[in-house]
Amino acid sequence: MTRLAALSALITLGLGLGMTAAQAETRLIMLGTGTPVPDAARAGSGLAVIHDGEAYLFDAGGGMVQRAIEAWQTMGVEELYPTNLGHVFLTHLHSDHTLDYGELAATYWWRREDRLKAYGPTGLQAMTKSHYAMQETDIALRTGGNQPVKDPSLYQVDVTEIADPGVVYDENGVTIEAFSVSHGDIHPAFGYKVTTPDKTIVISGDTAYSDTVLEMARGADILVHEVISEEGWSALPPEWQAYHHSSHTLTSELARLANEARPDLLVLTHILHYGAPVETALSEVQALYDGEVVLAEDLDEF
């Protein structure tokens, strides 16, 4: 039986057991597959897991909100309309994962029904307060003038800072567990494991090779993992090689992890390739790993 046929059979079985179509299939949409290196084809880090009419965002790199709007307009993903974006989970506070956090909080807040809920490492509350300060004039104009506003407090974000690994969200059939990863000098830095009735999706965040990611990803339906092209990395000056190896995962290391974890699908994102073609990240993993692996592009859906 093909993968598509198997999925169709599972959905049919789920519907027969009383599940709705929305509940029967969880969607993963890549909203940003880039890095701090500017790339017109790749927004900063971000993805959406969609289940039962709700989108759960992970990271908010620059351009991610526009990609969400693009998915709404071109793919019909209503859950990604700005006022429907209710939850965002940040892996760490590097700029290429947070530059659109303010955009997410500010876009059409006056038409929201509920506040945005944000989860992330210590420092997220201070970042949020800085956003309010930056937007102080805009907020005052919108709440103090004649603009119709449903609730003048909705510009505020409900922030949950994550101090320790563990389950950070467990509602509506979705469980999200934060786990610690090793990302150089950034402490804490997290990955996330998302469990819905039909899928387990593991998101590595930015990390050097991690046994914790390996354990979380064992038998997962999808592992979304950052990666470095070894061809590109090997041409860097020694100090940059050392920095990146302390913070990111080389293709050979990721292949080793995937060979043991055996996810149904390995999705490569946050693809650091430097002077080498981006495709080297895929070919290098494929040379050492015989499972299903794809090089993600913005707006890919899995």
Tell me how far CA of residue 102 lies from CA of 63, 175, 277, 299, in angstroms. Answer: 11, 25, 32, 21
Which residue bears the tokens 């500017």?
A: 38
Which backbone phi and psi does 293 adopt, to 5 degrees?
-140, 140
Print pLDDT tens along the chain (302 aa).
333 344 444 444 444 444 454 445 999 999 999 999 999 999 999 999 999 999 999 999 999 999 999 999 999 999 999 999 999 999 999 999 999 999 999 999 999 999 999 999 999 999 999 999 999 999 999 999 999 998 999 999 999 999 899 999 999 999 999 999 999 999 999 999 999 999 999 999 999 999 999 999 999 999 999 999 999 999 999 999 999 999 999 999 999 999 999 999 999 999 999 999 999 999 999 999 999 999 999 999 99
Give which of 162, 136, 174 is closest to 57, Cα–Cα.
Answer: 174
Which backbone phi and psi does 90 adopt, to 5 degrees?
-100, 135
Q: What is the pLDDT of residue 6?
A: 44
In order of their start, the domains of the chain are 17-295 (3.60.15.10)
What are the tens digits of pLDDT across the range 227-262?
Answer: 999 999 999 999 999 999 999 999 999 999 999 999
Beta-carbon contacts of 237 under 8 Å, excluding residues fewer than 6 positions away, are none
Rounded to the nearest angstrom, the gap between the alpha carbon of residue 1 and the centroid of all alpha carbons in its chain is 31
Burial environment of residue 152 by CB neighbours within 10 A (0 to 12, 13 to 18, 19 or more): middle
